Structure 1
Amino acid sequence: MDYDLALREDEPPAVTTNSTVEQRLKSEKWEKLNRMALMVMKRSISEAVRGGIPSCDKAKAFLEAVGAKFKMSKKREMANLMTTLTSQKFDGKTSVREHILKMVEVAAKLKDLEVPIDDSFVVHIALSSLPESFEQLKVSYNTQKEKWSLDEMIFICAQRRVG
């Protein structure tokens, strides 16, 4: 149906009295497909997102504005996830295993957003998120030469009773 013509090809030059029939037809076709592409894109985007995008009469410009909006929200999401990862504290309302798995999930989301988070960093952050009752475990980890994997840390912490 060629709706993407307005995205693939630049807008033809404005029609003048000197334009050929072929140029007029090409311009009319491009205009029609541009309107159709805009309509399809606008109807496929939620009202909340569409409201934050500047008004455009060209499909290509609209698509670029949507892309710019997504990049900004991606950065915001990365910042929120980093804050969540580094500020979580174990509150005792869930199990230690669940608490650490939530942190691992946040780290996985950051990796999906191309933010490299090393497992040893997650182990360190998770240990520091635990309360004072885990102090002996933290000291034990810090004095060992070997690093724990995430699975080992979860197992060891889950075995430890909060006291």
Structure 2
Amino acid sequence: MAEDCPVKSDEPTDDEIKAYDEWVKADEMARCYILASMANVLQHQHQSMSTAYDMLESLKEMFGEQNRATNQTAMKALLTTKMVEGTSVREYVLKMMSLLNELEILGVVIDKESQVEMVLQTLPDSFQQFCLNYNMNKMDSSLAKLLNELQAAKSIIKQQAPPAALMVDKLSSSTSKPEGEKKKKKKPCKVSGANGGVAKPKEKCYHSSNLVIIRNSVPAT
């Protein structure tokens, strides 16, 4: 925030003169830094302004709406970001830190406790036990320390995951049967003679055979 220029009285004291001279020197340096960071067109528009405060107010009026849109975009990205199960927790926390840093540059101040809570609330279910322990123990960590703790927790979760996955695979493989082991259909049997070689189911073969025998035993007339 720009400080107001010290006001000198009609008969200024040595302290007032010293304070005024220091302010003028600091303001002139600020003007130089602002002008040096501008494009040539903006330099031409602002170089005639007497104070750094006037320059900042002019820039705010020119680009204030763009800054607000950028602020909203960064905030939306922060609030909608959520870690996907199985992805790198390190990359995720670094992304969240980058978004928080961008908001801070834009003038949005979020306290350290809220920053940590934002990260914890957007972790996947595999970190549920970690979040529970963190809240129960009332731990107080910076984002950098939280990153190290989450990486350690991730390695433990990764070591515990394969046995459980293996059991599921074994269970699923034992309950499913290959297609080759499906119950085979009974093949029909063929009966010769009176039926003219028409296929009949096995359970009727004996009955058909009896009919053949009976018919064969009747003397011809």
Report the TM-score range of the alignment, normalised by the length of the smaller protein: 0.5 to 0.7
Q: Distance in 2 between matches of 1:130 and 1:159?
A: 15
Matched with 1:136 is 129
1:80 corresponds to which residue? 73
Q: Distance in 1 between matches of 2:134 and 2:80?
A: 21
Q: Indicate the residue corresponding to 2:41 in structure 1.
A: 41
Indicate whether 1:117 and 2:101 are aligned.
Answer: no
Q: Unaligned regions of 5+ residues in structure 2, if any?
A: 1-39, 50-56, 162-221
Q: How many residues align?
A: 108
Larger Rg: 2
Find out whether 1:70 has 2:70 as its counterpart. no
- What residue number does 1:8 align with? none
Whole-angstrom CA distance in 1 between matches of 2:85 and 2:138: 29
Deviation at 1:91, TM superposition (A): 1.5
Q: Which runs of 5+ in 1 are unaligned?
A: 1-39, 45-59
Counterpart of 1:154 in 2: which secondary structure?
Answer: helix
Distance 1:76 1:145 in 2: 36
Q: Which residue of 1 aligns with 2:170?
A: none
Deviations, residues 53-107 of structure 1 (Å, cap 9, x unaligned):
xxxxxxx9xxx99753511011111111111112211124641011011101111
Distance 1:66 1:145 in 2: 44
8 Å contact from structure 1 (residues 120, 150) kept in 2: no
Distance 1:133 1:67, change over 3 A: same
- Which range moved further: 132-141 or 116-125? 116-125
What is the TM-score when the length of structure 1 is the normalising length? 0.56
* Inter-partner Cα distance in structure 1 for 2:76 and 2:105: 16
Matched with 1:53 is none
Q: Distance in 1 between matches of 2:123 and 2:106?
A: 26
Q: Percent identity?
A: 29
Bigger relative CO (Cα 8 Å, ≥ 6 apart) = 1
Counterpart of 1:54?
Answer: none
Contact 2:85 2:124 (C-alpha < 8 Å) held by counterparts: no
Letter in 2 for 1:149: S
Question: Residue deviations 1:4-52, cap 9 Å, x none?
Answer: xxxxxxxxxxxxxxxxxxxxxxxxxxxxxxxxxxxx639x9xxxxxxxx
